[in-house]
């Protein structure tokens, strides 16, 4: 029943990981970024298939597309934050990150009710 959450989460985690690796390993030139995405194209495709399947399965259960997109977005931003901290060593503002998370969670709650 909740397989759609697994699919949305898996796709979002993969996308966040690919973006983080891009920042870490690909240069700033267009050719370098294009080459990177050609190399990771199969994983990018799998991530998008997971998200697409999760959205369709979730919509069949709940009929609430904005809720599904909000859940996917929350997972994506959470993983971007974690990967930025641990893989890139970024210094982020904890209060601003907490506020953004609260706003996303509030939006999910409002969309669910």
Give CA–CA dist 75/93, Å, rounded: 19
Burial class (CB in 10 A: 0-12, 13-18, 19+), 29: exposed
Q: Is the pLDDT of residue 1 over 70?
A: no
Q: Which domain holds residue 23?
A: 3-112
Q: How many C-beta atoms surround the C-beta of residue 103 within 10 A? A: 10
**pLDDT tens string 55-83:** 999 999 988 888 898 889 889 989 998 99
Q: Specify the pTM.
A: 0.83
| The total number of structural domains that make up the chain | 1
């Amino acid at each position: 029943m909740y397989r759609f959450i697994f699919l949305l989460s898996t796709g979002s985690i993969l996308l966040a990981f690919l973006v983080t690796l891009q920042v870490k390993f690909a240069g700033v030139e267009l050719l370098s970024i294009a080459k990177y995405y050609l190399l990771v194209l199969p994983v990018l495709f799998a991530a998008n298939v997971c998200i697409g399947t999760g959205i369709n399965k979730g919509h069949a259960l709940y009929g609430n597309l904005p809720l599904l997109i909000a859940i996917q977005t929350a997972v994506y931003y959470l993983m971007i934050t974690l990967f930025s901290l641990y893989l890139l060593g970024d210094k982020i503002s904890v209060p601003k990150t907490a506020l953004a998370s609260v706003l996303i969670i509030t939006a999910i709650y409002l969309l669910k009710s």
